[in-house]
Amino acid sequence: MKIALACDHGGLNLKNAIKNHLEKKGYEVLDFGTDTTDSVDYPDFAYKAAKSVVDKESECGILVCGTGIGIGIAANKFKGIRCATLGDTFSARMTKAHNDANMIALGERVTGIGLGLDIVDAYLNSSFEGGRHQLRVDKITEIESNNL
């Protein structure tokens, strides 16, 4: 599985920990940066990772900034992206199972590395349940299509 990964300067340490964690588990990681703690604009990096998911170059994406909020909002501007900002493992499982989220966003300053890795694992080890949840995802897609 290919996973798009990106961060801004506020998420660099967690992004690097996630990358190492995923590679040890055998995932292929497409790292869209940033690679330094120099101040950068998170929308630029959200764009690269979200485009990789939309273009099906990656199967899903993981984003990191200080809180996970801004980078997640930026990713959600792409048609076809369902990115959830997460801070716990239950929500990580549910966003995949019920919302078929194809991206997640984490906040290094609020989550930390240990919990961040647990959230990533919970998300990746979950599956979309379909059924009544597919109907809801379809409604989200319809809203998105009607408001572009």
Catalytic (active-site) positions: 65, 98
Query: Which residues make Cβ contacts (< 8 Å) with residue 83, sequence separation at least 6?
Result: 50, 61, 63, 72, 75, 76, 101, 102, 103, 104, 105
The Cα–Cα gap between 35 and 83 comes to: 22
Query: Which residues make Cβ contacts (< 8 Å) with residue 10, sequence separation at least 6?
Result: 42, 64, 65, 66, 67, 108, 109
Q: How far is CA 38 from CA 10, 74, 129, 132, in A?
A: 9, 20, 41, 45
Asked if residue 50 lies in contact with residue 103, where contact means CB atoms within 8 angstroms, the answer is yes
